[in-house]
Amino acid sequence: MTHADIDFGQLYRTHMAAADGREKPPEEWDARAEAMGRMVGESRYVDDFIARMDLSGCATLLDVGCGTGAIALALAPRLQRVVGLDYSQGMLDVMMRNARALGHANVVPIRRAWEDDWRDVPACDIVTASRSTMVMDMAEALARLDAKANRRVYLTSLVGGRFIDAEVAALLDHTRPALPDYIYIVNILYRMGRHPRLDYIENDNRLAGTEDFDAFARKVAFSLGEIDDAGRARLKQWYEADPERARRGGAPFRWAFIHWETAP
């Protein structure tokens, strides 16, 4: 068997099913929109994302899974038109409110899912998908991004397939297999005849920055659900064994930053 015999799109779908990956309903994202719109401390990730982009020769952007517009709004002053696509009306509402507050009149919302009909979604010079690539069918998603980009596509994807340190999750008997990560994307793009470039953006992990064990336990419970007494005791032992590791919330979190050119 050689690399050419492997259907990486199928392999991704099989991995996603084995990891019990599920599409969230848009209402779950609606509920998070107000809090996400206020997350100003996230700007380091946004700065790192944008610093890696080449906007030369580009006037329009399509931001897929735009959320409250972290990427779209940051780029709006440098482009003629910015289109934010998301299936959560709550996210689009917060993005548009923030766009008005910032005085950006060139931001256009489109309420749409990855899986919907995209025939009327405009092609743009640049297409981005930032932290929004947890899709069930990656080959289809990449084909859509590629088809809508006149010049370049930029996306981020999980490294390692977990949002929470695996060791911390295991302490609470959360032994779910890791989700499929960026390495499928590189292989699918290769099979599409594209030449993806790869970089990494390091971010605080979701459990980082707590002042004490109670705050840490609250963050863990928010991500993994209620913690019983035995789990809490194991977690406390882990927390107190290495205060520096505890402050970081375990292993650092990395996004793979992948980009490619669509124009010859």
Ligand X SMILES: C[S@@+](CC[C@H](N)C(=O)[O-])C[C@H]1O[C@@H](n2cnc3c(N)ncnc32)[C@H](O)[C@@H]1O
Which parts of this chain interact with ligand X (CB under 6 A)?
23, 29, 65-67, 70-71, 86-88, 91, 113-114, 130-132
> In the complex with ligand X, which residue's Cβ is closer, 169 or 201?
201
> In the complex with ligand X, which residue's Cβ is closer, 136 or 227?
136
Minimum CB distance to ligand X, residue 38 (Å): 12
Two structure tokens written together for 73 = 């709004």
C-alpha to C-alpha distance for 4 and 7, rounded to whole angstroms: 8
Minimum CB distance to ligand X, residue 195 (Å): 24
Write the CA distances from 161 to 3, 101, 133, 179, integer angstroms. Answer: 22, 36, 12, 4
CB 53 within 8 A of CB 79: no
Using alpha carbons, select from 69, 61, 189, 71 the residue that is nearest to residue 121.
Answer: 61
> In the complex with ligand X, which residue's Cβ is closer, 69 or 231?
69
> In the complex with ligand X, which residue's Cβ is closer, 22 or 190?
22
C-alpha to C-alpha distance for 56 and 99, rounded to whole angstroms: 23
Minimum CB distance to ligand X, residue 114 (Å): 4
C-alpha to C-alpha distance for 61 and 55, rounded to whole angstroms: 10
C-alpha to C-alpha distance for 109 and 2, rounded to whole angstroms: 44
Residue with the CB atom nearest ligand X in the bound state:
67
Give bridge partners of residue 81 from the DSSP assignment. 60
Phi, psi of 218 (to 5 degrees): -65, -40
C-alpha to C-alpha distance for 163 and 172, rounded to whole angstroms: 15
> In the complex with ligand X, which residue's Cβ is closer, 148 or 238?
148
Minimum CB distance to ligand X, residue 107 (Å): 14
Minimum CB distance to ligand X, residue 23 (Å): 6
Minimum CB distance to ligand X, residue 206 (Å): 12
> In the complex with ligand X, which residue's Cβ is closer, 92 or 235?
92
